[in-house]
Amino acid sequence: MLTAKQHELLHFIQERLDTSGISPSFEEMKEALGLKSKSGIHRLISALEERGFLRRLPNRARALEVLKVPDAARAANAPVHNDRDNIVPLRKPAPALRPIAANDVIEVPLHGKIAAGVPIEAFEDHNNLAVPAALLGAGEHYALEVSGDSMVEAGIFDGDYALIQKASTAREGDIVVALVDGQDATLKYFRREGQMIRLDPANSAYEPQRYAADRVIVQGRLSGLLRRYH
């Protein structure tokens, strides 16, 4: 059996998901329940998770999924039962595309620096980078800090964060992370030239790089950019 506050919070989260498709913020939940601090919300959410009513979606700053609701929290036109402990699985609506909120954030791995000039040593895992979900499409992603100026004519500048969708193949003209000789990674346009792979810069001051196809491995395609102004 849920406490009154647990029931109230679960109902509020479900209403917000039904109307907007977006989880309410902790501040919004605190105000809706008339609590003085967010710590109370954290405790309520943890209790609902332990009892199997809620699930936190991984790698998202604010995303909750309601797994089931008490009968009392069902729609007003549903039959009302006197048994308050009767729990029913959440009846999900027909699948629909929900807009991604600009403040819905996903953390992706930040793999250090990637050369936008000549190849540099292959990157390794370091930290995570918080990225607006609207900048990412389907699939798994990671981020790289751009070093160099060879892609400036494509709008990619030194210090930008390149958002990369993991992929092992590329189409002609894609901007890719290419691993050369198993150790040097670079960000370039991908082209095929006979039996060779040509990695083109977007800066007239640089020459294309040509390699035998077996020397180049595609590790991802550019899907977006983040830029910080100092």
pLDDT tens profile 143-187: 999 988 999 999 999 999 999 999 999 999 999 999 999 888 899
Mean pLDDT across the chain: 79
The pLDDT score that the predictor gives to residue 184 is: 86
Task: Read off the pTM.
Answer: 0.55
Whose CA is closest to 188, among 116, 114, 99?
116
Q: In the numeric block, which tokens belong to residue 195?
A: 């039996």
Predicted confidence band at 46 (pLDDT cuts at 50, 70, 90)? confident
For domain 105-226, give the fold.
Answer: Umud Fragment, subunit A (2.10.109)
Looking at residue 133, its amino acid is A
Residue 49 near residue 57 (C-beta atoms within 8 A): no
- Name residue, tokens 């729609």: 75
**Overall average pLDDT of the 67-75 stretch:** 61
Residue 33 pLDDT greater than 60, yes or no? yes
Count CA within 13 A, CB hemisphere, residue 126: 13
Residue 144 near residue 113 (C-beta atoms within 8 A): yes
User: Cα torsion at 43, 81, 18, 4 (round to 10°)?
Assistant: -20
**Overall average pLDDT of the 95-123 stretch:** 64
The pLDDT score that the predictor gives to residue 94 is: 38
The pLDDT score that the predictor gives to residue 118 is: 61
Predicted confidence band at 59 (pLDDT cuts at 50, 70, 90)? low
The pLDDT score that the predictor gives to residue 91 is: 44
- Provide the angle, in degrees to the nearest 10, between the axes of the packed helices 4-20 and 26-33: 130
Predicted confidence band at 190 (pLDDT cuts at 50, 70, 90)? very high
Q: How many Cβ atoms sit within 10 Å of the Cβ of residue 149?
A: 17
Residue 198 pLDDT greater than 90, yes or no? yes
The pLDDT score that the predictor gives to residue 218 is: 94
The pLDDT score that the predictor gives to residue 77 is: 37
User: d(Cα 152, Cα 18) in Å, to the nearest integer?
Assistant: 43
Residues classed as catalytic: 150, 188
Residue 225 near residue 163 (C-beta atoms within 8 A): yes
Class assignment of domain 4-89? mainly alpha
Residue 71 pLDDT greater than 70, yes or no? no
The pLDDT score that the predictor gives to residue 62 is: 57
Instruction: For the chain, give the percent of residues with pLDDT over 70.
Output: 77
Whose CA is closest to 160, among 92, 212, 228, 206?
228
Q: How many Cβ atoms sit within 10 Å of the Cβ of residue 195?
A: 8
The pLDDT score that the predictor gives to residue 227 is: 85
Whose CA is closest to 110, among 186, 150, 149, 162?
162
Residue 4 pLDDT greater than 90, yes or no? no
Question: With the C-alpha atoms ordered 159, 181, 118, 135, is the resulting torsion angle positive or negative?
Answer: negative
Q: Which residue ranges make up each domain of the chain?
A: 4-89, 105-226
Residue 187 near residue 160 (C-beta atoms within 8 A): no
Residue 100 pLDDT greater than 70, yes or no? no
